[in-house]
Structure 1
Amino acid sequence: MLEGMPIVPVDPAAWDLVSRALPQVTDRLIALASAHPPQTRVTADWTIADTVAHLVSLMLLDAVLVGRTDLDAHMPGALDLVAATNVDTVADTNHAVLAHFTGRDVPVLCEQLRWYADELVAAAATRDPSEQVGWLGGSRLTIAGLVAHMINELVVHGWDIARATRTPWPMDPLLAGQFFDLFLLGVTRGGYGALLDHGAPVRPGRIAVDFRSPYTTPAMLVLTDGAVTVEDPDPRADVRLAFDPPTLNLMLFGRVSKARAALTGKVRLGGRRPWLLPAFERTMHLPS
């Protein structure tokens, strides 16, 4: 741990859950992707083959970061690109990284995905899950948070494939909740660098949003003069957000609309000043 770096504790039970889940979710994604024609379009821009190639690039990046090996040997210039990325330029970064993965043979890609997942798990097993690595936009992320993020990528893109192919894709709410606990809270506590930079004027004042789910740690994210911090829950929070973790994750990444999430009761809004949520989201948002 570098001197002066915030310590971000990791619950051993949460780490056990995500470290065991990564190879299992990888295998589920591989089985799903392998069962359908590779040129099936699953988003406006990507086919199944493109989606798996994207996941391979992310899994390799994570395996390299945790394994402390030379990323430039695999993707020249990628470290500088990662350091310069924020949530609004992630799509550009994905496009640039994918240029290093020109193959679209899904069986080959699936083999690579499984291989890099095994490499990531093996590398993580040699390190403390609370150790931090440099990530997008100069942010700092625990190894546990990195794995939780990778699992969410697999699940969200698996949802894309499942929706396009009308295939069931069950999502475990406890596992989905680790994206909030280990990744979202973790990167906020560890230091998000330039990840949330958006170029818009900073809203002065304080907005506190209390997040509640049976599957996650009660916590409050607070935006104060443009900076986001994690605080203990407070009944006087401006906004109270009760959520189902799979639905929240899909909503944060633009797969489920806010209206649909609200109408199904999977995301419920309350608090003293719920109308402040859009102002909070202008800073604290994820790529969709």
Structure 2
Amino acid sequence: MEIEPGKWEAVRAAVRTAGDRFAGLFPAAPDPAAKVTADWSVADMAAHVTAIAWQYTSMVKPGQERRMPALDGPIARTTVESVSDFNEITLAEYTERDVTVLAERLRAHIDEILLATTGSDPATPVPWLGGARLPLAGVLAHLLNELLIHGRDIAVALGRPWEIPPRDAALFFELFLLGVIRLGMGTLLDGGDRPRERRIAVEFRSRYTTPVTLVLHRGEVSVEQPRRDNDIRLFFDPPTFNLVMFHRVGKPRAALAGKIVVWGRRPWLLPAFLRKLRMP
């Protein structure tokens, strides 16, 4: 697959900006032990994102040993259904919770990632969870999404504003989601509904992405050019789409706000499609 040069530069710049914003957010928390979710504190969430960046410093370097070898087994067998378990194992391995130290480390890891990938081919395949493969640009897009989604989580808990720029959110769709589908999902989407013979084709459109069709057929998801006979057409606002996929915003709320609009010949097939193409 090819990555547009402009997208590669955009995701690199966005990771830098989002990393600085994220690293400047949580050290000022009045209480780093305050809960952001039922299970994670501000410090836990900061550690989660910093640990991902640390792992990626080795992942983007060919032949580099992983930063946390204890995760090799869990990485190989992780699916969407077990990502939460994988995250808990990672947090147990990555023990730092001093938010000032975490902010410094996060900035340093991002510096290392961007330096290591300077001049690299953004389409280079990189092994990921569950035997899936990402283009190198997709690795950065995943880190960007982690910074933006979890930055919002912390900001909401602290009562502070947090913007998710639409062009940045769109990079997750184009570089990560389409990238992993094109290069191979491995066992990442195992589980969920039984494979169906019925082909479901969903055309995705937004103001910030190139129109594309994702097809679910016999349990496999693939990428095609838009066709007139697509079952479903879906217009999406990228930040809202990402928040819906990661269960931060409900589908009815997004639809009522006009942030996700669905139409087409068979729109009732969308729930079955999304039960397969899902996020943790």
Aligned match of 2:270: 277
The answer to whether the 8 Å contact 1:177/1:216 transfers is yes
Aligned match of 2:51: 57
Whether 1:247 and 2:205 are equivalent positions in the alignment is: no
Local SS of the residue matching 2:209? coil
Alignment of 1:39-50 (within 5 A): 39-50=33-44
1:163 CA drift (Å): 1.1
Cα 1:17–1:273, aligned 2, differ >3 Å: closer, same or farther?
Answer: same
Q: Which runs of 5+ in 1 are unaligned?
A: 1-7
Cα 1:27–1:276, aligned 2, differ >3 Å: closer, same or farther?
Answer: same
Alignment of 1:106-255 (within 5 A): 106-198=99-191, 200-255=193-248
Equivalenced residues, count: 278
Aligned match of 1:35: 28
The answer to whether the 8 Å contact 1:236/1:271 transfers is no
- Cα distance in 1, alignment partners of residues 227 and 55 from structure 2: 38
Query: What are the Cα deviations for residues 41-100 of structure 1, in whole angstroms up to 9, with x where unaligned?
Result: 1112111100010001110111111023211xx312212211211111100001111111
Amino acid at match of 1:39: A
TM-score (norm 2): 0.97
Amino acid at match of 1:50: D
Whether 1:96 and 2:94 are equivalent positions in the alignment is: no
- Cα distance in 2, alignment partners of residues 105 and 56 from structure 1: 12
Local SS of the residue matching 2:101? helix
- Cα distance in 1, alignment partners of residues 210 and 76 from structure 2: 29
Identical aligned pairs, as a percentage? 48
Superposed structure 1 runs of 4+ greater than 6 Å apart: none
Amino acid at match of 2:150: H
